[in-house]
Chain A
Amino acid sequence: MININNLSFGYPNTPELFRNISLHISRGETWAILGPSGCGKTTLLYLLAGLKFPTSGEVTIHGEKILRPRPHSGLILQDYGLLPWSTVRENVALGVNVRKFYGADGKHTPDDFIPKDNVESWIQRLGLSEVVDKFPAQLSGGQRQRTAIARTLALEPDLLLMDEPFSSLDAITRENLQNLTLSLCEEQNITLIIVTHAIEEAAMLGKKILLLDTAPNSTARIFENPNAGSRNSAEFHALCETLWGEMQKRNAP
Chain B
Amino acid sequence: MKPIDYVSALNEMYQCQGFPPYKWSEFDTSPWSSLSKPLNECCLALISSAGIFRDDQDPFDPWAVNDLSFRQIPTDTPFERLKLHHNYFDHRDAVKDLNCVFPVQRLKELEAEGYVGSFAPTAVTLGMGRLYKRTALQNETVPEILAVLKREGADSVLLVPA
Partners in one complex: no
Instruction: Write the residues of chain A forming the contact surface with B, with a CB cutoff of 8 angstroms.
Output: none
